Amino acid sequence: MPELVFFSGTMDCGKSTLALQIAHNRSARGLHSVIFTREDRAGAGKLSSRLGLVTDAVEAAPELDLYAFVVEQMSRGGKVDYIIVDEAQFLLTDQIDQLARIVDDLALDVFAFGITTDFRTKLFPGSQRLIELADRIETLQVEAMCWCGARATHNARTVGGVMVVEGEQVVVGDVGGPEEVVGYEVLCRRHHRRRMTSATARAAVLSPDVLPVTSG
């Protein structure tokens, strides 16, 4: 049975790498994919992994009907065996419904990859719809780690290394960049709740505790 599978995890846990591996293994056996992505860091129409691999993809802009796009490809004689979608959290809920229709009406597997929650721990609409519709949800096995060594489960947005909780839901960016710019850091829930990034934890260790001064 064809399936809609949602591979989810934090940022930097290997989702795009796995998407590229699935595409590689299947294309080595003569299977043809349509690869959709949206707002990849490498630019429009690219699916890139931090391991340095990159492939061309179809930019799933908000106005693109993914079901109609695949039907069009097939009706022109294009061979389509399965679909890959990266950065699926950025898709509109209607576009996730179109993916489910691709599975059900065109009998194609759809492998969607994305983060579930934003920097405020709220579900992205695209991810919420995937959780609602997917046949299967897979958590990636390579654990991203918090600075404390625990499994990272949440994505923090940082400015100058300090976690922020205000701002637009979508700001394309990366982990591990220079601290002065807007970036991201993956944290365990405990440290996300305490807004403790690696930079603020370091600063806390360096500054001696200030004892309360009592008079008299």
Ligand X SMILES: Nc1ncnc2c1ncn2[C@@H]1O[C@H](COP(=O)(O)OP(=O)(O)O)[C@@H](O)[C@H]1O
Ligand Y SMILES: Cc1cn([C@H]2C[C@H](O)[C@@H](COP(=O)(O)O)O2)c(=O)[nH]c1=O
CB under 8 Å, gap of 24 or more: what pairs does 53-62 form? 53/17, 53/20, 55/20, 55/23, 57/86, 58/34, 60/36, 60/85, 60/90, 60/91, 60/95, 62/92, 62/95
Of 24, 25, 44, 51, the residue at the interface with ligand X (CB under 6 A) is: 51
In the beta sheet, which residues pair with residue 204? none
Output 105 or 169, the one with its CB closest to ligand Y: 169
CA distance 62 to 55: 21
| Residues marked as catalytic | 87
User: What residue number has its CB nearest to ligand Y?
Assistant: 118
Identity of the residue, 51 or 148, whose beta carbon is nearer to ligand Y in the bound complex: 51
CA distance 176 to 25: 30
Judged by CB under 6 A, which of 8, 17, 127, 158 binds ligand X?
Answer: 17
3-state percent helix, strand, coil for the chain, nearest multiple of 5: 30, 25, 45
- Contacting positions for ligand Y (CB under 6 A): 11-12, 15-16, 41, 115, 118-119, 155, 157, 169-173, 184
Q: What does 49 bind: ligand X, ligand Y, none (CB cut-off 5 to 8 Å by kind)?
A: ligand X
27 touches, from ligand X, ligand Y, none (C-beta below 5 to 8 Å by class): none
Q: Does 154 bind ligand X (CB under 6 A)?
A: no
Shortest distance in whole angstroms from residue 143 CB to ligand X: 9
Among 22, 58, 102, 144, which residue sits at the site for ligand X (rule: CB under 6 A)? 144
Using alpha carbons, select from 45, 48, 33, 8 the residue that is nearest to residue 129: 8
Least gap, CB of 86 to ligand Y (angstroms): 7
The answer to whether 49 contacts ligand X (rule: CB under 6 A) is yes
The residues of the shown chain that bind ligand X, judged by CB under 6 A, are 9, 11-17, 49-51, 142, 144
